[in-house]
Amino acid sequence: MIKTDAIRETAKDHLHWTNQQIKEEVKRKHGLIVSSSAIINVIGSHRRRMRDASLSINLLGEARKFLKMVGSFEQARNLLALAETES
């Protein structure tokens, strides 16, 4: 496994972890030594990951409301595609 894949796999469910925690887990799971710079290049800085995670939590609630309002995933997808072409 290459380092970038190991970082992504390790961090996918743990974006809130610090770079140090990710480095330790990559070493434990995959036997690879990665740098903080590599982590930042692959998944972004810890600060950005924390900001994005909080934004995702807020957007998830809004997405659920939207799906409930339009009735189906297919209809939601169609509306989003239409909105994208108009912007």
Q: What is the pLDDT of residue 58?
A: 77
- Do 22 and 50 have their domain in common? no
Range of the domain at 80: 46-87
pLDDT at 16 over 70: yes
- Global pTM exceeds 0.85: no
| Cβ 3 vs Cβ 11: under 8 Å | no
- Do 65 and 27 have their domain in common? no
| Cβ 14 vs Cβ 3: under 8 Å | no
- Do 56 and 72 have their domain in common? yes
CA 55 to CA 31: how far, in whole Å? 33
> Which whole-number Å values give the CA distances from 24 to 9, 27, 39, 53, 65, in the listed order?
13, 5, 12, 21, 38
**Tokens, residue 64:** 């659920």
- Do 28 and 54 have their domain in common? no
- Do 40 and 57 have their domain in common? no
Task: Examine the fold and report which residue of 44, 59, 76 is the final residue of a domain before the chain moves on.
Answer: 44
**Tokens, residue 4:** 């970038």
- Do 39 and 59 have their domain in common? no
pLDDT at 60 over 90: no
